Amino acid sequence: MLPLLGTLLGNDYLPVTLFLPFYSQIKLPKGDNVFFSRRYARAYGVISWLQERESLEDALHRVLNVFKKSEREDYKMMIQSSMVVYTFFESYLPDYFASGSLLCRLLTHDGYPLPEWVLQNIRQGAMPTMCLNALANHRVFLHTQIEDLSQPSANTCSLPIRVAIYNILLSHDESKALQESPTSPKKSPQHTKEFCVQEYDRMGKDLKKTILRPEYESTRYGCLPNLAGVLALCKEDRKTLLLEVLGVKLEDISQIPPCLQFTIAVLCYWIRHANPKVSHLHLYCLLLCFIRHDILSCQDSLPTELLPEPIVSTSQQGKKGKHIWTPPKSWIPRTVSAFFDKFQKGSKTRSFDLEGVHGFAQFQSCMQYTTYLNKVLCLPFPPPDLAGLFSGIFTHELYKEMTNKSDVLGWVMLGLGKTSQVAEEFYRLQTVVRQVVSEECFAARQQSKTARKKQKRRESSAASSSGYGEGSSSSSSVENEDLKGYEASVDVVASCSLENKFAGLMSLDCDN
């Protein structure tokens, strides 16, 4: 009776107005209560009417009798088609939730079955959506952050990481094509199209579609494994493979605590591939943000000399002398805690710095897709706490404060306490990063307004005394060498304006 009840009350297939002749023949309750709506009255009346029927066939026959004889057959077909929607088909899901086993196969866009460990991650929601889109549709939409629209997209910085992900996800497609046409698989336009990934990202204020052709044998880190061969590698090999994609060696970050090795490796990659380049201020802000998170989430026991005295709660006094330990906010000095607290909230006096935010947006893009690569490689590194590691407000406020300091490193060390353990940790981390990354990868720091005014006065006075005019300065932008290798495998097919959200519909190409 329930499928017939749902149909008579109206659904996505048959509107309730279609059964108005039926409602005129049954008794509906009436009342003066404002909460007793007409919809509720119809449901109550239909339920009461169905309770008096002996069978489903009898109820359906009485419903059809209210319509004209010439229309009954059409109404019968429509009602039966609507009732099929409420039919429960046999499913294997109860067995999956009971025993964890599920007899089904998921296929990729090219009809290739996925390995069991990939299916398990998909069922558990552990596989990133971006990887699922690349597997199923060969189409990925990249998110746009708060960034400078006059600069290249922040996702450009993480392009080599995404290409490595596509290599692992789609390498089984290439092997299948080699089996079908081993003589000349690359000459088949159908296979060439299927193995490409369409990426949608911004170019200025426009939306662009880019076609990426994965390179299954890269000169940087050799031949990447496919999904079936990922588990064949040991954990150390998968960790080395991820670091090779980032261009960092394991011995370079061996002195860093294990909980920060993954993050520092991404940080080194970001500095090398940033476009435009980032300054030392970006590096200092992120390192302080990591140290702040490490301190707040520190679960280690406090040193004996730093343990606080036990405090007896007034509510617990007289209850067998039970003591309640009240640990301090952290084991760092109060001056360091106050230094961090100054940048927890946004300041109304500090203006928004778009250049600094764009650099941090590039780091977030690198961190996001490296985390995806870590999941595709079955977590050789422990997954980082992304929500706690990076704070946009903290880094922006700290970056703005650093732009007004002449000696930034000295100011940071003074705020952390030059002899404190926090200052030693910060100095050690920035030393490791600057040993891995060359100074040429950093952008020259821009001077503050006061310093620029003083320099301008000195230049004008020197020019007037020497008799020469003020020289013109030119700035040159150096292209990233690592991204040049991907220019041959990237094609911008179409673009559309983002001013009109429907403009993308006009640029869709029809393949049929």
Give φ, ψ of 101 to 5 degrees: -105, 140
471 burial (CB, 10 Å; 0-12 / 13-18 / 19+) is exposed
Measured between alpha carbons, how far is 385 from 261 in angstroms, rounded to an integer? Answer: 13
450 burial (CB, 10 Å; 0-12 / 13-18 / 19+) is exposed
pLDDT greater than 50 at residue 301: no
Measured between alpha carbons, how far is 105 from 122 in angstroms, rounded to an integer? Answer: 12
Who has greater pLDDT, 315 or 365?
A: 365
Task: Dump pLDDT digits (tens) for 24-73.
Answer: 888 888 765 555 678 888 888 899 999 988 899 999 999 999 999 998 99
Contact 192, 138 (CB under 8 A): no
Give φ, ψ of 123 to 5 degrees: -65, -30
Start-to-end Cα distance in the chain? 46
Contact 444, 281 (CB under 8 A): no
Task: Dump pLDDT digits (tens) for 429-438.
Answer: 999 999 999 9
Task: Dump pLDDT digits (tens) for 170-186.
Answer: 886 444 444 444 443 34
Measured between alpha carbons, how far is 8 from 75 in angstroms, rounded to an integer? Answer: 12
Task: Dump pLDDT digits (tens) for 212-262.
Answer: 987 766 545 567 888 988 999 999 999 999 999 999 999 999 989 898 999
Fill in the amino acid letter for 506. Answer: M
How confident is the model at residue 450, as a pLDDT?
55
DSSP string, 320-389: TT--B----S-SS-HHHHHHHHTTSS--SSSPP-HHHHHHHHHHHHHHHHHHHHHHHTT-SSPPP-HHHH
- Bond from prior residue into 276 cis (ω within 30 degrees of 0): yes
163 burial (CB, 10 Å; 0-12 / 13-18 / 19+) is buried
User: Of 207, 209, 203, which is closest to residue 149 (Cα–Cα)?
Assistant: 203
How confident is the model at residue 494, as a pLDDT?
52
Contact 79, 4 (CB under 8 A): yes
Contact 331, 306 (CB under 8 A): yes
- Taking residues 483-502, report their average pLDDT: 54
94 burial (CB, 10 Å; 0-12 / 13-18 / 19+) is exposed
**Which CB contacts under 8 angstroms, 24+ apart, belong to 248-256?**
248/436, 252/432, 252/435, 252/436, 253/432, 253/436, 255/428, 255/432, 256/429, 256/432
Rg (CA), the chain: 33
pLDDT greater than 90 at residue 368: yes
Task: Dump pLDDT digits (tens) for 340-356.
Answer: 888 988 877 778 899 99
CA atoms lying within 13 Å on the CB side of residue 254: 5
Task: Dump pLDDT digits (tens) for 454-476.
Answer: 556 666 665 554 443 333 333 33
Residues 272-296: b if buried by 16+ CB within 10 A, e if exposed: bbbbbbbbbbbbbbbbbbbbbbbbe
User: Of 12, 9, 11, 26, which is closest to residue 65 (Cα–Cα)?
Assistant: 26
Q: State what percent of residues in the chain have pLDDT above 70.
A: 71
